[in-house]
Amino acid sequence: MGQAGNVLDPLDIAEAWLKQGRRVAIATVIETWGSAPRPVGSHLVIDGDGNFQGSVSGGCVEGAVITEATDVIVSGAAKILEFGVADETAWRVGLSCGGRIRVLVERVNG
């Protein structure tokens, strides 16, 4: 595993947070087109206070996913988010080559 061996899996973090009584959502990359910073299956775990671990992308995309996740935690309704950008704006939102990603955000019930 190398250096990554010390990094906790976001799903393990989600389980630990649930045991602590936190409200938790998990965001998962479910589809990518073109260049995407994180592969399908990448996870970001978010709690009701906006704390997060893991990664589904980078830049503004991650911030938008965290914002949506707080809504999902409250409502309980899962969402599929899609992010795609033209090449000239790609660097600002973290999709460096104009790629697109779809992210499933769902609440985890302990």
pLDDT digits (tens, 9 = 90+) for 34-76: 877 889 999 999 999 999 999 998 777 889 999 999 999 999 9
Report the C-alpha gap between 108 and 68 in whole angstroms.
14
Q: Which conformational region is residue 35 in: left (phi greater than 0), alpha (psi within -120 to 50 degrees), or beta?
A: beta
**pTM for the structure as a whole:** 0.83
Q: Where along the chain do its domains lie? A: 2-108
Report the C-alpha gap between 13 and 32 in whole angstroms.
24
Identify the three-state secondary structure at position 107.
strand
Looking at every residue in the chain, the average pLDDT score rounds to 84
pLDDT tens, position by position, 76-92: 999 999 987 654 454 55
